[in-house]
């Protein structure tokens, strides 16, 4: 049976990129059973209008989740979490994909990431900027350097053998997806990526990194604020204390897995044990 795939893309005012992004994703996944979920945080530049125009011709492949961002700063993490909750509530997806809406993540790499999950190589696959075979283009040396330094800091606190905690191009299975809303998620900012990865690692899920070509877009120092790095540093230290010491609290209001999902998980585990 063909796996059901959910591509979760948070956007905010991406009118310059949205047509190419949607067209490329639809082309690369042609022939597969997938849903492209656009999580819009209140675009006002025509992005949302474009999505609604193409939905009727997408044969049910495109869905929109509209939010209104009320917290200052980037809320990419909150948008991703909303997308995961939507996916778990609306269908039985097998593979979950997260990627940026500005074309920094290449749709041409979708199949390789999906294959890494469907073949059972891991529960999570990171399209990494820092493994052999990876490339970075369109990014200044200073931004690349600060990214490397930040990743080294996170690696030293959480897990050294994972090289890229900050890249949001990720692929994971349903078991990994279900773990996210089962926990209390504290961060709606991009630190969400580190928080969720720490939850996965704490639960013993298997993580691999695959080569990726990251394309930096509009990443000059004008977009870098010291307070953002300070807040991120504080967040990482807080995540570290939960990962190493206190653990990650479960959400008492989180819905439990359905009997059908538990039965399917049992059958899948039995099949793996017989291989």
How far is 158 from 200, CA to CA, in rounded Å? 11
How confident is residue 218, by pLDDT bands cut at 50, 70 and 90? low
Other Cβ atoms within 10 Å of 213 Cβ, number: 16
pLDDT of residue 229: 72
Beta bridge partners of 26: none
The number of C-alpha atoms within 13 Å of 89 and in the hemisphere containing its C-beta is: 10
- The answer to whether residue 60 scores a pLDDT higher than 50 is yes
By CB neighbour count within 10 A (0-12 exposed, 13-18 middle, 19+ buried), where does 264 fall? middle
Topology annotation, domain 4-274: Spore Coat Polysaccharide Biosynthesis Protein SpsA; Chain A (3.90.550)
Q: Label residue 259 by pLDDT band (50, 70, 90).
A: very low
| pLDDT beyond 70 at 47 | yes
Q: What is the mean pLDDT of residues 65-79?
A: 83
Q: Which two tokens stand for residue 156?
A: 């030293």
Distance CA 83, CA 65 (A): 7
pLDDT level of residue 149 (50, 70, 90 thresholds): confident
The yes-or-no verdict on residue 226 having pLDDT over 90 is no
**pTM of the predicted model, to two decimals?**
0.88
Angle between helices 47-54 and 18-28 (to 10 degrees): 40
The confidence band for 220, taking pLDDT boundaries of 50, 70 and 90, is: very low
The counts of H helices and E strands in the chain are: 9, 9
* pLDDT grade for 258, boundaries at 50, 70 and 90: very low
Average pLDDT, the chain: 88
Question: Which residue would you say has higher pLDDT here, 233 or 112?
Answer: 112
R_g of the chain, CA atoms, integer Å: 18
Cα gap 127→125, rounded to integer Å: 6
Q: Is the pLDDT of residue 274 over 70?
A: no
Per-residue model confidence as pLDDT tens digits over 73-127: 778 899 999 999 999 999 899 999 999 999 999 999 999 999 999 999 999 999 9
| Average pLDDT over every residue of 221-237 | 70
Alpha-carbon span 105 to 21, nearest angstrom: 10
Contact at 8 Å (CB) between 169 and 126?
yes
Which residues are within 8 A (CB) of 43 and not within 5 positions of it... i.e. 6 or more apart? 11, 12, 13, 14, 15
Tell me the torsion sign for CA atoms 253, 168, 40, 42.
positive
Q: Tokens 């690692």 appear where?
A: 201
Q: Cα 234 from chain centroid?
A: 22
């Amino acid at each position: 049976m063909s796996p059901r795939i959910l591509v979760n893309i948070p956007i905010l005012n991406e009118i310059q990129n949205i047509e190419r992004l949607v067209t490329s994703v639809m082309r690369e996944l042609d022939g597969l059973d997938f849903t492209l979920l656009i999580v819009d945080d209140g675009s006002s530049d025509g992005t949302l209008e474009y999505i609604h125009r193409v939905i009727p011709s997408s044969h049910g492949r495109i869905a929109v989740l509209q939010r209104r961002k009320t917290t200052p700063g980037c809320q990419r993490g909150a948008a991703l979490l909303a997308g995961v909750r939507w996916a778990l509530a609306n269908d039985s997806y097998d593979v979950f994909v997260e990627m940026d809406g500005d074309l920094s993540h290449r749709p041409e790499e979708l199949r390789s990431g999906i294959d890494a999950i469907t073949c059972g190589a891991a529960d999570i696959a990171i399209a990494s900027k820092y493994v052999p075979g990876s490339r970075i283009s369109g990014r200044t040396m200073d931004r690349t350097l600060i990214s490397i330094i930040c990743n080294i800091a996170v690696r030293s606190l959480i897990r050294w053998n994972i090289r890229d905690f900050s890249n949001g191009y990720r692929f994971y299975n349903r078991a990994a997806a279900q773990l996210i809303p089962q926990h209390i998620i504290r961060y709606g900012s991009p630190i969400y990526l580190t928080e969720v990865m720490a939850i996965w690692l704490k639960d013993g899920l298997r993580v691999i990194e695959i080569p990726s070509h990251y394309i930096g877009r509009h990443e000059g120092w004008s977009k870098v604020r010291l307070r953002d790095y300070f807040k991120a540093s504080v967040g990482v230290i807080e995540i570290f204390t939960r990962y190493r010491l206190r653990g990650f609290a479960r959400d008492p209001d989180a819905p439990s897995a359905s009997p059908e999902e538990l039965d399917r998980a049992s059958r899948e585990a039995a099949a793996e044990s017989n291989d």
